[in-house]
Each structure stands twice: as structure tokens, then as C-alpha cells.
Chain A
Amino acid sequence: MLKTLLSVFLLWGGLQTITFAQLTYKLEKWGKVPDADLKLTHCSFDSGASSMILQDVGSLELTYTRDGWRVLFNHRRRIKIFDETALEQGNLRILYRADHDVEKFKDLDIQLILPTGEVQKVKSDNVFTEKINKYVSAKKVFIPNLQKGCIVEYRYELESAFIASLYETWFFQQDIPVRWSQLSTTIPQYFTYVYLMHAPRKFDLNENHQESITSAFTNPYGASVTTFGLSHLPGIKDEPFITTLEDYRAHIGFQLSEVIYPGRSTEKYLTSWEELAKKMEEDEDFGGQYKNDGKFDKIWSAFRKEVPESTPRAELPEKVLRFVSTSIQWNGENRRFPEATLDAAFIKKSGSTADLNLAVVALLRKLKFDAVPMLISTRDHGMMYDLYPFADQFNTVVAFMLEGEGGQLLDATNPKRPVGWMRAECYNGQGWLVDPKRPNWVDINAPEFSETWLGYAKLNEEGALEGHYTIIKGGPAATQWRSEMEGESEAAFIKSNFAAEFSERTVDSIAFSELNQLDKPLKVDFHCVVPSAATPVNDFLYLRPVLDYFVVKNPLKSIHRSFPVNFIYPYKSQYVLNIELPKGYLLEEIPPAARISLPENGGKIQFSVGKTDESHIQVILKMNITKQEFLPSEYDALKQFFDLMTEKVQLQLALKKV
């Protein structure tokens, strides 16, 4: 009922007042600032903020121009500066795509409203155009005469050819608080879009009505006008252990689903995953790269020279991965499409994830393996939408082999990584196979990051602990060590990666096993002396038995957490040390065993000290974290979990001379 009334109101266009259940927001007109806002001194819902967006108004209108269908983006923002620390809000930078005229930036209009209400136009000599690179330019504005208490207001129009995504995602939430943010979309009747959104709660405004549009270039048509509004959004700041901040900021994005012109057949943009897979496989720049021998001739012949035909089939995937990762250097970039051809990257000796991993797919297929590309959105690129079949949600590619149970992942970005694993950034829950026969979302569980320390050591009266230790690194922990060791001596490496808190330690007799067996855990045995493991005081020796661990300090420092903690891997850490006590010393007291679990069995810690006999003790600290995501409501428990872990790492035992 209310909605209908509102539509009438808006069409009538009179007061521009939007009323709904709890909130009334009156859109302020350009340059008209209410007295209360001139006098405003702080943000009521984010008290620490030094500036606030009073209103942020965007509209995306899909409209027919002389160049065809274009998206007109109109943006109007008003920012209040509360104090001097926010003067940098007067340095604006608006990015746009300047290559091939895909975006036209127009009509930038800026004004400064002094606390007195006086309006000063910001002239064009304060505006600069910066060419950042081939594709992107920026309008830079330095607002003159900006003082505390001022309001900055600006607006511009941008015409974009990016129809499939309806220009770009609108973020209601910003790094400074937003009092009111709204986006309107005007979509002609021929077009259908799906929404990709994340909102912390129901929209404060969600309104829709129909309009009739007349155009100089086409027949009149009907359009659907939808407005979304959110109010009182606190500023959002980066925190450690997240995927990307964009996943948490309130936003709405769009994806074109279909176009139906009268008298023409429906053009489907979001069809089905089958269709998308077929389209990608037929794409010269994607499927053509690994299906067409001509694109990777050189790679293939170089591979054949290195790996003879007599090689057992079971060893081939490993050989392919090794060959690609050592002959093309990953340039650090995530891409879906190769820059030119796979052979071009091979000649250049450098390439993106697309160059490397499509080369893996190509070679595997050539060797008659059932291999396909898997598309992924990396953690820093954000979540995936398996409801809607569109390719732009992905930013990178790995290889997938449909052999064995569940298939195998291959990622050639690091020469030390075995078949089956990807680099950390790729573990974002799932991935999509580009395979028209079996288009499929695959759930990806990150492998376990595991570490074990095992030691037999002897303590002397001066407090030195001398003994034999074994460290076993499993899963990504092994890959990490294998890559970090490159170019370093074994002794220097172990020295800097064991018992780092004990500065005078020495290591020798180092023996690595499975150093080159990349799919096996990495194991190292060594002898180590830690001169000050224990502090002698009077008749006592105070021993710190845990020399190294998963973490020695609590990585969670913030007191509060506004969004979930998201870990990449499940973690497992075990430490067992058997200690022979110096003659005449006894463990004065056995500290009680400790055990703590995370909510929903998300992990646990076990700690115990035991006497094996009068002169031998054993210290055990075990921990695992199996849950990947911890909600803000679980943050305190997680922080305590790490507090307990670090307490046990720091724990000391009292030995007394008898």
C-alpha cells in the first residue's frame, strides 16, 4: 500500500519526501543546506569520526544515445568536515576508464559551503586530469579554502559503455560514516538485470515505479525505476583476517540477465552454466588457447624434449606442473585470459595465472588427461555468486583434472607447490569448472596447514637446553618452507625459523628429508643448543619449555570486531618435548593440564606437563582450528583461545635443587 502511495508521490514530483516505517529522509537539493547541517559538529552514530557523508545520491540510467545503449551514472555527494584532521577529504580523486572512450566523464561541478552558509564554486583551475595508466584516468580536485565546519558538495555525470554490469557496484557504506545513501536505477522494459547485493539489514528505502521515457533516438519505451536507500552506516575500516573489505561493505551490483526487444527473439546474457561454459570454451581467447594446438606448439615441443614419451602416465601431471612453473615466471597477476597466446608467454618467460594455468590445461589435454580450467574469485576479489552464470565475477584461473576421486587442482604459480594445492588467495570456498559436458561448481576445502615439533633435550644447571629436534611441516606449511629456503643455507634457514625468541641459540647437524618430494610433508632433524632456556635463580631453575609454536603472540589485537574473522586454512600444531632434568633438580610443581575448545567445535588446545620418571618430564602443547569463519559474536572466545595458546607458549616451570 505504502509503496503505491510513494510512487504517486514521486511521479508527481512535488516535495521529494520519502516516508516509510521508521525513517523520513528528505533529499537535500544541490547547494541547499539546512541550518542544522551547517552547525553539525559530530556524527551521532559514529562518534569518533572527523567527517561524514551527509548524503550520497547515485542514479544509474540505461538510456539510448546516438552511440547506442549507454549507462548514465549521476553522482552527487555531500561531505561534512568536522575538524582539521579531515581536511584531506578536500582532495578528491574520481577514477574512470579513459581507454577507447568506453567512459565519458562530464559536468563535474563542485562547491564549498562555508559554516556561514556561503556557497563558493570551485573553479576548474583546481581540477586536474591524471592519466594513471593505459586504461584508467582520474579527475583530481583540490578544494580551496577548505576549513573545519565546511561542507563539500560535488556532482558529475559519467557515461559508460559497461552495460552488462550497469557501470559498477554502488557502495552504500564508505570508510567514513554515511548518513544517507541511495541509488536509483532506470531500466528500460527490454532489459532484465539481477542484483548482487549485500546489506547489513533491510533497506530503509526500497521503492519501484514505472515511467514512460521518450528519446530522440528511439521510440518511447517504458522503464522501471527502482530506488534503494540505507541510512546511518558507520565508517568501515580494514581488519586483519578477512577476505576483502568489499564483501562486508553494504553494496549493490548488477548483472544483465536478458534483453527482449519487441519483435525479436530473446537475447539471454545469463543463461545457464552450461551455456556459459560452452561460450567460454568456444572463445578464441580462452578455450581456443588450450584446445588449439597452434597456440602452444612451442610449449608442447619443449615439454616433449624434457619429458620423454616413455614417462609413466601417473607421473605426468606432476611433470607438467613442474615444467610450466619453472619455464614461465608468474608475474604476480590474476587474469582470466592470457595476454596473447600461451606460446607468447612461454617466449616471454613470464605470464599471469591465465598464461600459466591454461598452459597446464593445454599440456594435460594433449597428454589425454581430462583437464579443464577452473575459474575462481580470489579472496581479495570477493565472494562468488553461484546463482548467476556470469564470468565477470571471477578474476583468476587454475587447472583442474577430472581424474581420481573428486579430481585434482593444479596451480603453477609456485614451482614448489605439488599437484592438488593452490596458493592461499585462491581458497575462497569454491570454484567453477569450464566444462560444457559437466559445468560444475566444486566446493574447495583448503588443505590443513600443519606443524609438528618433537624434541629430546637435556637441561643443565646453567639453564642451557641441548637436544635433538624434529620439525615436520605438512600441507601449505611445507610448500611455504620449501619456497622460503630457496637460495638460503640450511643452517641459516633453520636458525631463523626455530626458537626465534631465544637469541643465542645454535643449530648444527641439520638433515632434511623429502625436500624435493613436494607432495610429502617436509621433515628436518637437527641438533640445537638454547643457552638461556632456563633462568637460574638461587636454588631454582625456571624453564620455558615451549621454544617455538604456531604463534608466540596473540595475532588478534583489536578489542572489538565488526566482521567475521576468516582464516584461510584449517591449522594444526603439535609440540612435544621430552626433557632430562639436571642432576639433583626436581620439578617443584606440575602445572595443571589445560584444555579449551572453540565454539561449535571450531578448534581446541590441549596442554599438559607430565613426569615420565624422577628425572624426565614431557611437555605437550596441541592445538587445532578447524572452523574457517568466526562471527563477531565469537570473537571474544577466539581471542581468549589465542591468549591461552600464547600463555602456554610463554609458560615456565619451576625446578628446584634438592
Chain B
Amino acid sequence: MKPFSLILIFLAPAYLAAQIEYSIVGITPELLKHANVVVRNHETVFRLEADGGATMEETYVATILNEEGKSASVMAESEDPFQKVKMLKGRVFDVMGQLVRSSKDEDVQVFGGAAEYEFSDNRTKYLQLEYPQFPYTVEFRKKVVMKSFLFAPASILQSLGVAVEHWHYRLEAPNGFRFQWKSQGVDLKVKESQKGNTSIWEWDAGQLKALPDEPYNPYFGDITSSLMFAFEEISYDGAKGKFKDWKTVGEFFYGLNNNRETLTPQTVELVKKLTDGKSTREKIAILYKLTQEQCRYVSIQLGIGGWQTLEAEFVDKKKYGDCKALSNYTQALLKVAGIESWEASIYGSDEGAPACDESFPRPLFNHMILYIPSEDMWLECTSKSNPAGYMGEYTADRCALLFTPQGGKLVKTPALKLQDNFEHTSTTLLLREDGAAQVSGKTFYGGARQDDLRHYALEETKEVWEKTFTQQAKFSIGKLGKLALDANREKPEVSLDFQVESPKYATVSGKRMFVPLTKTNSFKLSLPANENRVLDLQMMQSYVLADTFVLQFPSGYAAENVPAGKKITSEYGVYELKTETLSDAVQVIRLIEMYPIQAPAAKYNEVRQFFLDITKADAQQMVLLKKT
């Protein structure tokens, strides 16, 4: 026997143990259902030091079952002057749980590139473990050291498509440490103990089944369960505060951002000159526009600068800033005009926001806007085009934390209502014998329906708008005549006046011509078929479309068949189509109202059928026949 065989024998037990532990065979079948990833073991130890720093050690072992689960093959962690990644390692195991490789230091990538308009001291370290055949298992170990921090990171147990075999979280802190915790989407029990001067809290969970990753679900960020913390006392980059409740959270941020409203004497003069003798509303509109016209969005985030605004004077001189700086600058302008305003933290996103909890003071915000209490009015100061007081889908209908002199106050921003989000079109189509058409029309857009168009009207060149219109049009365009886009500066309304040539609007089939009725603004939405929908359905956008289409026949043609009207009414919305045949034209009047939808999974197919019916009704065509 050669010496190396001996070594093999000695190693064998450990090797076999590994094989048993991470082999896919060990996973109970219930955990595989709907799963793209099975988390085998996820353990975190968060150790808080007496000086306010902390160490976090995390082990994450996941079996990746398919391509959709590949996001679990990456472990990423950010670094900044207050947080360093001390260790990031990984190992890969094959389907039988056999170790195939261990990561090397050079496998850990670091990148720090931000967009042209951004600069920050934040960098990301990440490690990706790839393997050519599914399923395979990855094991990550990392250690993060924090000098100081504002928020303890949440532990995410599960997102959609992820099952969990075992999860454990351990928090260690000096005795007397006070905090609140909250679990979401999972029932957790805490186990407390003490060891000398250290208090220990532990949470356990396991055998959590996966929820399928289905579209239009109510889970924000597709997260289903997590453990979150709110530490009562915080200190970050020299700033100290209490996060006992929303009031104290607000006090901290108010303190951080207050008294930074000094402007240059010239600007003070200018504000006085512009607003003298004007009403409060007028003053707000004038000063909001001043910020919009003078400043551009540039984001520089360094240390506490991620949470504290730049001085108003800085913005005054540089004419740029991020959401905090531009809000603070506008606040300073308003202050000169005698109008009180408060900064507010909010989660900005076109896809909704996390739910807010009155009783759990853990901020989940990424953006800042301004609130004027006397007018109950909100200002989005990073927008170069919004009319004063209009929020748009990015910040409407969610909770915001106001920083008032009396502390924090959690409020809800107004929702955009059905009637606010409208599209009124009036289109005339002159059909030609070869199926081409001259299409001219006028459309008025309102609320959320005008957000994008307002951007093109005021913030992009005409060339970009023309290109976008051509690319996004629902019918082919051969020539652009008129394409005038006009944004109302006072109201969230945009109008479009257009005339274009469409080379193939209708389909010619011998002596017949098939003409779609509403193609210039057709409605099309389909939910994937799913007989076993598990998650509730949520589609919060609501709007009203009111359209008139006049389809003028080419000479020598008459209607052979014109679809009769159609009306679909349901709790999800209304669709109504009316046709009227005139001597040489057909007039189509269409009304669509969509209500916000929050439906249980059992109603999924009902909602799906509703959209199917509308889509089908809207695709109807009339048939014209050439007279002989």
C-alpha cells in the first residue's frame, strides 16, 4: 500500500459526512415544490460591541435547482468607510454533495463604478460560484465588520421560489442592550440567555416551503419572510440618536438635516423679488420651478452624507444636488418666502413600496421629498418637469416619514385616483386601397398616464421623442407629419397632436380589407394560464381610457361586416365598445376603466378571463368590401 492511500482512508469519514450533508438526496420532497433554491443552512451571528461597532458572521448554504435559482450563486456585500468585508469565501458541491472546489481570494470581485451622475464611497464585493450542471450546492461564509451603522441589516429567510431547511440567527450584545424585533411572513420565537456581560437572543426556523414566483404578486421585492431589527440607540459617523419610535427616528433625522438652509444673499434677494405680493400657492409654484430650472440631479454620497443633506448654499453655488440636497434647497427658498415645509423620507419606486408599520420604527426609505403642511402639498424636488404638488407613481400612495420640529410623523401620501390617470384620444384614419392609412389624432394624458410623456416633452430632445414614438407605436409608421407633444406646466397633463402615415394599417385580402378598429391605441394584457395559482393577485394601477376612432373608407369600398358593440363589466373594471356605421366611415367609441385589483388566488382565473375578454374584444376588425 502506498502512503497516499492511507491519507485517503483517514480523510474518508469527513468526506462522507460532507456528502451526506449537502447531497440533494437529503431534501424532503415538500421543500422541492415551487422551489428554485433550497437553503440548506443559513446561520448568522451578529455581535454588537460596547463601542457601537458590530461584527456579522454569516454562513449560507443553498442548493440551486435550476437556472432561475442562479441568483443564489452570488454573495455580495457592500463596503464603505464604516463597513469592511473581512472574509468572503465559498465552496461548491455537486449533486451528491461532493466538494468540487473552494473559492480563492482572487475569485472575489470588487467594483465601485456608478452612473455618470453619481459618486459614492460605497463599493461592492461579490463572489459568484458557478457550476455547469444543476442541481449543485454553494456554501458561502462571510464576515463583515462595522465601525458604526444606522440600521442593523435584516435577515431575509425566504424570497419567492426559495425553500429553507434550516435557519438560525443569533444576536449578541452587552447586557442592558435595548431593541425591538419583528418577523415578517414567518412566526419566530426568541430564546434569550446571558453569558457573563453578554446577552444573547436566538431565533430558529426550518422546513419552510417555497412559494412560487408568480407575476403580479403582492410581495414587495418578492420577499416573503424576514427578521428585522430596530436598535434603540444608534450612532453613525459621529451622530448619535434614539430609534425608539417613529417620533424619535424623525427627531434624529430632523437634527441631522435642520439648520442647513443658508442661501447666498443674491438668492435671498431673488426669492423676495420673485415672490413679493404673490399668494402662497403662487410662491410655491415659482420657487419649485426655480429649483427645477436651475438645478440638475447629481448624487454624491460620502459617509454621513448618505443621510445628511448638503448645505443649501452648496446647491446654490453648484446648481446640483441629490434628493436630500434639492429638497433642502427648496425648503430654504420657501423659508425665505415665509412658507414652512418639512422634509420627508419615502421609498420611491414605480413598483410600489414596502408596507409601513406604525409600531415598528425601522425606516425602509430610499428617497426624500418635501411636504408643505399649510397647503397639504408634496414636492418632488428631483424632477425637472413635474408641476408643483404632483407626485407621480414613484411616490404616491405609500407611507412617508415627516421630519417635523416635533419629531417624526408617519403619514400616507395621496393615491392617484382612477379619474386622475386618464387618456382621452380622438383619432381619424383615412384608409387607402392598399391598406395604408393617414392617421391623425389628438390625445390628452393625465396623472400616471402622462409621467413618461412629460419626461419626453420637457427633458429629452425632439429627436429622442420621435424615435421613441416610432419604436413604441402599436402600428407601423412610414412617415411622420406632425408630432407635437406639449406638457402643461401647472397640471399633470400632456397633450399630443399627431399626424402620421401608416403603410400597412389594414390587411388587404383580394377585394376585402380587414381593418382593426382600435389598433392605434389597442388594449392588450394577458396573464399566463395557471390552474393552480398560489399567490394572491395585485395590480394596483387604475386608469380610464376614453377614445374615439373614425375610420374613413377608401372610395369604392363599403362595409361588409362591422363588429357590433361589446360591453364587459366586472368588479375589476369596465370595457365598452360602440360602433356606428356611417355612409363612408365607421365611428368607434371605446371606454376602458381599470380599478385597482387585489384578488385572492382563487379568483386568478376570473381576472385572467376578464383581461382575455377585453383583449379579444379590442382586437376586433371590420371587413370592407370593394364595390364592383
One of A126-134, A242-250, A391-399 at the interface = A126-134
Please provide the chain A residues from 392 to 448 with a CB less than 8 Å away from any CB of chain B in the complex: 415
**Cβ of B466: which chain A residues have Cβ within 8 Å of it?**
48
Q: Name the interface size band of chain A.
A: 35 or more
What DSSP secondary structure best describes chain B's contact surface? mixed
One of B317-325, B352-360, B409-417, B424-432 at the interface = B317-325
0/1 interface trace, chain B 111-128, chain A, CB 8 Å (1 if under): 111101101000100000
Minimum distance in angstroms from A543 CB to a CB of chain B = 10
Q: Identify B623's interface contact among A49, A132, A654, CB under 8 A.
A: A654
Cβ contact within 8 Å between B561 and A652: no
Cβ contact within 8 Å between B467 and A591: no
**With A487-B66, A557-B470: A90-B296 Cβ-Cβ less than 8 Å:** yes
**With A48-B462, A350-B131, A591-B510: A128-B119 Cβ-Cβ less than 8 Å:** yes
A329 at the interface (CB under 8 A from B): yes
A643 and chain B: residue at smallest CB distance: B504
0/1 interface trace, chain A 139-159, chain B, CB 8 Å (1 if under): 010101111000000000000
A-B contact count (CB 8 A): 159
A346 and chain B: residue at smallest CB distance: B101
**With A48-B462, A126-B318, A650-B507: A88-B116 Cβ-Cβ less than 8 Å:** yes
Q: Identify A91's interface contact among B116, B459, B563, CB under 8 A.
A: B116
**Cβ of B123: which chain A residues have Cβ within 8 Å of it?**
131
Please provide the chain B residues from 8 to 44 with a CB less than 8 Å away from any CB of chain A in the complex: none
Q: Identify B509's interface contact among A87, A142, A591, CB under 8 A.
A: A591
Q: Identify B130's interface contact among A93, A331, A347, A590, CB under 8 A.
A: A331
**With A48-B463, A142-B320, A326-B132: A592-B119 Cβ-Cβ less than 8 Å:** no
* Docked pose: A578 CA to B375 CA in angstroms: 70
Please provide the chain B residues from 287 to 344 with a CB less than 8 Å away from any CB of chain A in the complex: 293-294, 296, 298, 300, 317-320
**With A146-B296, A558-B467, A654-B512: A140-B461 Cβ-Cβ less than 8 Å:** no
* Docked pose: A131 CA to B110 CA in angstroms: 9
* Docked pose: A329 CA to B526 CA in angstroms: 35
Cβ contact within 8 Å between B111 and A542: no
A504 at the interface (CB under 8 A from B): yes
A501 and chain B: residue at smallest CB distance: B619
A383 at the interface (CB under 8 A from B): no
**Cβ of B384: which chain A residues have Cβ within 8 Å of it?**
84
**Cβ of B92: which chain A residues have Cβ within 8 Å of it?**
349
0/1 interface trace, chain B 438-460, chain A, CB 8 Å (1 if under): 00000000000000000000111
Cβ contact within 8 Å between B509 and A654: yes
B612 at the interface (CB under 8 A from A): yes
* Docked pose: A94 CA to B329 CA in angstroms: 29
Cβ contact within 8 Å between A559 and B132: no
**Cβ of B568: which chain A residues have Cβ within 8 Å of it?**
none
Cβ contact within 8 Å between B296 and A87: yes
**Cβ of B110: which chain A residues have Cβ within 8 Å of it?**
133-134
**Cβ of B480: which chain A residues have Cβ within 8 Å of it?**
559
Cβ contact within 8 Å between A326 and B479: no
A82 and chain B: residue at smallest CB distance: B461
B218 at the interface (CB under 8 A from A): no
* Docked pose: A9 CA to B320 CA in angstroms: 45
Please provide the chain B residues from 511 to 562 with a CB less than 8 Å away from any CB of chain A in the complex: 511-512, 514, 526, 560-561
Please provide the chain B residues from 89 to 104 with a CB less than 8 Å away from any CB of chain A in the complex: 92, 100-101
In the complex, given contacts A90-B320, A237-B467, A486-B67, what are 11 additional A-B residue pairs having Cβ atoms less than 8 angstroms apart? A48-B463, A85-B461, A130-B114, A132-B113, A144-B318, A146-B320, A328-B132, A329-B130, A589-B509, A591-B509, A591-B510
Residues of B within 8 A of A (CB): 66-67, 92, 100-101, 107, 109-114, 116-117, 119, 123, 130-134, 293-294, 296, 298, 300, 317-320, 384, 435, 458-463, 466-467, 470-471, 473, 476-480, 503-504, 507-512, 514, 526, 560-561, 563, 612, 615-616, 620-621, 623
User: What are 10 of the A-B contact pairs (CB < 8 Å)?
Assistant: A90-B296, A131-B123, A142-B320, A486-B67, A503-B612, A540-B561, A589-B512, A651-B514, A652-B507, A654-B623
